[in-house]
Amino acid sequence: MISVIISSANPSLLAQVSKNIEATIAVPYELISFDNSAGQKGICEIYNLGIQQAQYDILCFMHEDIGIKTDGWGKIVQKIFDEHNDYGLIGVAGSDYKTLAPSGWSGSGRNMDYANLVQSYKFKKKEPHHYYKNPRNEKLTEVACIDGVWFCVPRKIAAEIGFDQDTFKGFHLYDLDFSFAVGCKYKIGVIYDVLIDHFSEGNYDKTWMEETLKLHHKWYYHLPLNILPHSKASVFDAEKSTFKYFIERLIYLKFPMRVAFQMLYKDNRFLKMSPGLFFKLHYYILKKYISG
């Protein structure tokens, strides 16, 4: 039995996903939704309220702008937790490497992401595409973090860990923060037998950047997270490309370039990781600073 928890900003989307859940879940469930159309509460606070109200042993947190395309997905989720009691969190997209460089759950490297997700677009003129990455043909892949579009967790673990509503008061980075917290005690996984259609892409605005910086200051000494034994070259490339994207977003969002310098120099973690990486990133920041 599953408690589904949704922070709702759009009554029509909530009605749509409610019908979708009823038609596809195939196990006893309850839907706990909160009208948050005015944005009066952050998603962490909403999800903590959901944990307090939930009756069932598995909690499923999901966005309302999705459609679940897999019939009987509730049985699949129950079976995974029954067979893998060392797992505390599962989702449909995630990465086995989380960079020291500030980023979202993805962007860490070509061969580090895993997913089964149809991505549709609201802000861009792009056709939907099925993002499927399962190179080892697994049912469950251990990862460092998952995307927050849809994820499930045993209620006892959700109650034990909770969402950090004191630090994250908006609608970004709650998924990585929760992943890191759960990952300190339990395994985290991506599953492939449940397919989600996400109707909108992420919006990486100024608020997202501010929350990303909060996350990385909070977990700085916990990062990077490397679940699988990636080569030094792969890690180097992941950190370099992610930090470069971080710099580009800082420039686009009109953040001062000192933010990039502060992150690069903090406790000399990048220098200790790889002097070559450190000096390449230092050069890239200077180049952007001078040209800008």
How many distinct structural domains can be found in the chain? 1
Q: Does residue 278 fall inside a structural domain?
A: no
Q: Does residue 289 fall inside a structural domain?
A: no
Q: Does residue 288 fall inside a structural domain?
A: no
Single pTM value for the model: 0.94
| CATH number of the domain bearing residue 29 | 3.90.550.10
Q: Does residue 253 fall inside a structural domain?
A: no
Q: Does residue 85 fall inside a structural domain?
A: yes
- Which distant-in-sequence residues (6+ apart) come within 8 Å of 168 by Cβ? 42, 43, 44, 174, 177, 211, 214, 215
Range of the domain at 64: 2-227
Q: Does residue 274 fall inside a structural domain?
A: no
pLDDT in tens, the chain (292 residues): 999 999 999 999 999 999 999 999 999 999 999 999 888 899 999 999 999 999 999 999 999 999 999 999 999 999 999 999 999 999 999 999 999 999 999 866 668 999 999 988 876 778 888 999 999 999 999 999 999 999 999 999 999 999 999 999 999 999 999 999 999 999 999 999 999 999 887 778 999 999 999 999 999 999 999 998 888 999 999 999 999 999 999 999 999 999 999 999 999 999 999 999 999 999 999 888 777 6
Q: Does residue 257 fall inside a structural domain?
A: no
Could you tell me the CA-to-CA distances from 201 to 127, 168, 198, 229 in Å, in that order?
12, 20, 7, 30
Alpha carbon 280 to chain centroid, angstroms: 28
Contacts within 8 Å (CB) and 24+ apart, 235-240: 235/97, 235/109, 235/273, 236/274, 236/276, 236/277, 237/109, 238/97, 238/99, 238/108, 238/109, 238/112, 239/99, 239/100, 239/101, 239/270, 239/273, 239/274, 239/277, 240/277, 240/280, 240/281
Torsion angle of C-alpha atoms 129, 130, 134, 137, degrees rounded to 10: -140
Q: Does residue 267 fall inside a structural domain?
A: no
